[in-house]
Structure 1
Amino acid sequence: MIEIVGLLGLAAAGTGVLWYGSARLEDAANDLADSYGLPAVVQGAVIAAVGSSMPELVSVLLATLVHGAFELGVGAIVGSAVFNLLAIPGLAVVLGGGIDTTRELVYKEALFYMLAVASLLLTFSLAVIYNPVTAADSLVRGDVSRPLAAFPVALYGLYVFTQYLDTADEGRTGDTSVDTARAWLRFGVGLVVIVVGVEALVRAAVGLGDAFGTPSFLWGMTVVAAGSSLPDAFVSIAAARAGRPTVTLANVLGSNTFDLLVCVPAGVLVAGSLTVTFAHIVPMMSFLVLATIVFFGISRTEMRLSRGEAWTLLGLYAAFVGWLVLESLRVSSVLEL
């Protein structure tokens, strides 16, 4: 019991450190966006999204290279994506008021994000089909190779290119009052602090998995995912209260797109090849697809997120957490632990 309390304390401390580092990094990212004259949607979907996704990227790299637990990193990414889609918009509306959506967000950002979900699931499926791994148990596994991992990264390159074209068409000028060099320095310092906070979260997830005798990726989907996404939640709530809902939703969708197309493949590209268990990946990705469909449908209705729709999103996230608790207690066996 003392060990579990200590691990939870480590996770809380890591979340606090991560929060501080993320705030520094995102402030620097916003200054850089102003310096380069980027429009609000691009600022939220690319600059702020990449900045806020650094915890997820670091979690995949640390889980893979330091702890040898790639699926923990994947679980953290999927859990973070679900949290971003359901909890952040829901909390932003409940605590900050209704959020208006735009056709650009719904038909460009949301649709491209849905393509990101499909491409990552396709990558894992191709790994199982063309690079199967034989194991003592009956679970189906596959090796994700570098060529397969390069496919979603190339898709993200296309996403950035489309954002670049939109920025070029607007012809905005940058804010010359911003000290660009100082902003990049603050960005680097924030990244270092994030590494420290994420390492604490990953260690806590691995320890909790050992303490409860369950795979660490389950704790990655909750402890690491929520810890790495909480800073985004507070930033989005503040943005909604300040009357900047476009940045809030663009950040959510852009962050998830970066997580799926860059953060997950990054572990493979660094390690060379990594094994995934299809029985673990498919249920996780299936719930993410469900969350995506619900979010897209709600965002499109009347082009506004109402309070009632916000509670629907929060209720679905509560169901997600409840499902993971049942899996941990072995009441449910969808994940075939």
Structure 2
Amino acid sequence: MFEIATLLALAFVGTGIVWKGSSWLETSADKLAVGYGVPTVVQGAIIAAAGSSMPELVSVLLAASLHGEFELGIGAVVGSAVFNLMVIPAIAVLATSGISTTRDLVFKEALFYMLAVAALLLTFSLAVIYNPTENALEGSVTRTLALFPIGLYVLYLFTQYLEAADYEVDVENDVDIARSWLWFLVGLAFIVVGVEGLVRAAIGFGDVFGTPAFLWGMTVVAAGSSIPDAFVSVAAARAGRTTVSLANVLGSNVFDLLIAVPAGVLVAGSMDITFEYVVPMMSFLILGTVVFFTVMRTDMLLSKREAWLLVGLYGVFVAWLLAESVGVTNVVPT
């Protein structure tokens, strides 16, 4: 019990450090976006999304390079993506009277995000098919394969560039660019320290319960690293900037899937993935994606009833992970 209490304390402290670092990083990123004259929709989909996704990127890099737990990093990204889809929009809706969506969000941002999910699953499939290891249903993701999702993200940036070209935005010259970059780097340093604590806690829980560490990455690391996303989206929704709120969620997930996961491969050179672990994770992410797209599209409004539906689905997700961790279910082989 003492060991579990210690790991819980480590997770809570790590979450607090990530929260503080992310607040500095995102505030400075917003100021840089204003200072450079970035349009609102691009600010939400790229600037705010990349800033709030920094904990997930760091979790993959640390898990892969320092701990040799690449699948823990994948679990953190997938768990964070599910959290972003289910919890963050629901909290934003419950904190307001509802969130209006737009066709631009539904048919551009959401569809590109769905393409990102498919692209990452295809990358893992190609690894198993063309770079198999000695173990069944296991393959090696090489740097060459990692370039595929990264190339897709470049296409995403290109579409956002075209979007930005259609807007005329006044640049605010009173923003202190140098100071903003300094706080951006300070926030990033805090995120690295906090995420390392979350990763160590996830590995520790895996050792204590005798379960794969990535299961705990999908909860401990994912929830701890996704809390900044929640505050960014809720604040944007309360300020009436619902486009930024939802664009941040979708843009953050696109960044996580197409940049954070491949980044771990580029740093380590290659990483082995077990398809038996990946398929259940990605299957629930696909289910969550379908539900999220559906509630976004209906009447172009996220209502409170739909918000509770999303919360309930996330509860099912957490219950499944807990059942796997204590051995009640065995969908994921241990």
What is the TM-score of this pair, normalised by structure 1? 0.98
User: Could you list the runs of 5+ residues in structure 2 that have no partner in the other structure?
Assistant: none
Q: Matched residue of 1:96: which SS?
A: coil
- CA positional deviation for 1:97: 2.5
- CA positional deviation for 1:128: 0.3
Write out per-residue CA displacement over residues 185-211 of structure 1, whole angstroms, 9 at most, x where no aligned residue.
111111001000000100110111111
Where does 1:196-215 land on structure 2 (aligned, <5 Å)?
196-215=193-212
Q: Give the number of aligned pairs.
A: 334
Counterparts of 1:180 and 1:31, CA distance in 2 = 8
Would you say the 8 A contact 1:96–1:238 is kept in 2? Answer: no
Counterpart of 2:326?
Answer: 329
Q: Matched residue of 1:142: which SS?
A: strand
From 142, 146, 150, the equivalent of 1:145 is 142
Counterpart of 1:118?
Answer: 118
- CA positional deviation for 1:45: 0.3
- Does residue 293 of structure 2 align to residue 284 of structure 1? no
Q: Matched residue of 2:170: which SS?
A: coil
- CA positional deviation for 1:166: 1.1
Counterparts of 1:97 and 1:155, CA distance in 2 = 36
2:206 alignment partner AA: G
2:188 alignment partner AA: L
The percentage of counterpart residues that share the same residue type is: 67
Counterpart of 2:228?
Answer: 231
Counterparts of 1:134 and 1:30, CA distance in 2 = 48
Q: Matched residue of 1:253: which SS?
A: helix
Counterparts of 2:301 and 2:291, CA distance in 1 = 14
Counterparts of 1:149 and 1:4, CA distance in 2 = 36
Counterparts of 2:242 and 2:170, CA distance in 1 = 23
Counterparts of 2:288 and 2:206, CA distance in 1 = 25
CA RMSD in angstroms comes to 0.8
Counterpart of 1:311?
Answer: 308
Where does 1:234-253 land on structure 2 (aligned, <5 Å)?
234-253=231-250
Write out per-residue CA displacement over residues 109-131 of structure 1, whole angstroms, 9 at most, x where no aligned residue.
00000000000000000000001
2:240 alignment partner AA: G
- CA positional deviation for 1:178: 0.6
Would you say the 8 A contact 1:97–1:241 is kept in 2? Answer: no
Write out per-residue CA displacement over residues 303-329 of structure 1, whole angstroms, 9 at most, x where no aligned residue.
000000000000000000001011111
Q: Matched residue of 1:67: which SS?
A: coil
Counterparts of 2:11 and 2:220, CA distance in 1 = 7
- CA positional deviation for 1:88: 0.4
Write out per-residue CA displacement over residues 86-127 of structure 1, whole angstroms, 9 at most, x where no aligned residue.
000011111222000011100100000000000000000000
- CA positional deviation for 1:245: 1.2
